[in-house]
Amino acid sequence: MNAPSPDPMVPVPYRVQQVWRETHDTFTLELQPTDDLPERPFIPGQFNMLYVFGAGEVPISISGNPNLHTALVHTTRAVGQVTNAMRRLKRGGMLGVRGPFGSHWPVQEAEGNDVVIVAGGIGLAPLRSALYHLLSQREKYGKIVLLYGTRSPSDILYRKELEHWRAHLDLDVQVTVDRASDDWRGNVGVVTTLIPRAPFDPLNATAMVCGPEVMMRFTAQELQRRGISSESIFVSMERNMQCAVGFCGHCQFGPKFICKDGPVFHYNEIKEWLGKREI
Amino acid sequence: METLEPILAEHPFLKGLEPRFIQLIVGCASNLRFNTGEYLFREGQEAGQFYILRHGKVAIELAAAERGVINIQTVGEGDILGWSWLIPPYSWRFDARALELTRAIALDGKCLRAKCEEDHQLGYEFLKRFSHIIAQRLEATRLQLLDLYGAHPK
């Protein structure tokens, strides 16, 4: 008999299996269910609501490998009360999990195309799941390009994995930082400056973009300048999500709810609302 | 002998220019190579040319006594480097240093300025193209100044 679907409003207890300190303010948790629960498959781009007991609940994108259903992996930046409490969790600590929720990256629609992934800062986390998927089915895609911009060399997320991916002959990885340290020999400048010379065919490419909203706006414009159609650009949005199922309205963005209709949107669906200070 | 004409005519920066302009520009062009660490130009020197980078990576730097050398931006293959040749007093405002072996086509600024003065249509074409580059760099610099990826608690 199939186990009943969990109530989307009831957190399920998970135990922290492993903790990685990624940078000075970001960390990754691997979570295992405490009971013998059915697997929770997810599609890259979706998120879970993570409940730190006594502190509160926050939406966090899933950054793990979608082909491995045994554990949930989330990378988070400690920026507020809940995420700071989450950072203090150690192996064996407990969390409540609801999800997975929301829309996903168009990994199937992109088959046959070049794929351009543009990530800014912690925005690399929800895109990592998409990359795992693309690499696991590498033959289904054309060129795969990852353009990653972050604040400084010490803020580079998943550094070892990036180095590993960069060594792949079938994946083009370019990293740039806004502020270089003395020993940095890589690119300096915002991530949009990597787009004009990135190796992909704009007429046959799908772009997946995640990062601060301003970065995504300018990235979408630069991608279009390069020749990618706005219909082939997808962005992952973030707002104050609380219920995660479209009841509470906290994450309303124009006519959309980020939690239910997003977080991944066709750029065309939301471009008219981006940059509107009243939204 | 292979000339720089087809390379220049196909470069996005010059693409669409009338063939007679391309021929004029070829007369002001030369192929250069810079080893790692070598300067393409230094702050304060006369800005006598601009570069179309064909290969490699160049850091645009500023030396600050209290902070050492600050790498402001890098440019690479396909990029245009330098517009000070076009704007008085025609002197470089930053250093440009090759971070790796770099090959570039240098275009003689004095030669081009004279041709632009003689033919204002060519001058206008150059100004249109350079204002696009300058606007792109300004936009990128503004984004860089925003510190987009810093933590901004709500």
Sheet (strand A72-77) strand order? A56-61, A47-52, A94-101, A12-21, A26-33, A72-77
Q: How far is CA A149 from CA A169, A186, A264, B137, B146, in A?
A: 21, 11, 20, 16, 13
Contact A80 B153 (CB under 8 A): yes
pLDDT tens-digit profile of A69-110?
778 999 999 999 999 999 999 999 999 999 899 999 999 999
**B116 token code pair:** 């632009």
Averaged over B41-62, what is the pLDDT? 95
**A39 token code pair:** 């697997």
Full DSSP string of B135-153: HHHHHHHHHHHTTTTS---
Do the interacting molecules here have an ipTM over 0.90? no
- The pLDDT assigned to B65 comes to 82
Contact B149 A80 (CB under 8 A): no
Q: Return the DSSP state at A122.
A: G
8 A C-beta contact, residue A218 and residue B139: yes
How far apart (Å, rounded) are the C-alpha atoms in residues A135 and B94?
42
Which run of H or E residues covers position A223?
helix A213-226
Grouped pLDDT means (10 residues each) for chain A, 279 residues: 64 93 95 81 93 94 88 93 95 94 95 97 96 95 97 95 88 94 91 94 97 94 95 91 84 87 92 83
Q: Which residue of chain A comes nearest to B12, CA vs CA?
A: A196
Q: Which residue has the tokens 């203090």?
A: A88
A77 to chain B: which residues are within 8 Å by CB? 151
pLDDT tens-digit profile of B96-148?
999 999 999 999 999 999 999 999 999 999 999 999 999 999 999 999 998 88
Q: pLDDT class for B1, splitting at 50, 70, 90?
A: low
Contact B99 A185 (CB under 8 A): yes
Which run of H or E residues covers position B127?
helix B120-145
B79 touches A at CB < 8 Å: yes
- The pLDDT assigned to A40 comes to 79
Question: Measuring CA to CA, which residue among B8, B1, B6 is closest to residue B104?
Answer: B8
Q: Which residue has the tokens 């997808």?
A: A234
3-class DSSP state of B51: strand
Beta strands in B1-154 (DSSP E): 29-34, 39-41, 49-55, 57-64, 68-76, 80-81, 95-98, 102-108
Question: Measuring CA to CA, which residue among A160, A219, A229 is closest to residue A195?
Answer: A219
8 A C-beta contact, residue A113 and residue A205: yes
Q: Return the DSSP state at A194.
A: G
How far apart (Å, rounded) are the C-alpha atoms in residues B57 and B6?
23
**B11 token code pair:** 């470069």
- The pLDDT assigned to A2 comes to 42
A149 to chain B: which residues are within 8 Å by CB? 149
CB neighbour burial string for A239-251, b if at least 16 within 10 angstroms, e if fewer: bebbbbbbeeeeb
B147 touches A at CB < 8 Å: yes
Q: How far is CA A200 from CA A204, A223, A265, in A?
A: 8, 11, 22
A187 to chain B: which residues are within 8 Å by CB? 57, 74, 76
Contact A214 B72 (CB under 8 A): no
Question: Measuring CA to CA, which residue among A226, A131, A148 is closest to residue A187?
Answer: A148
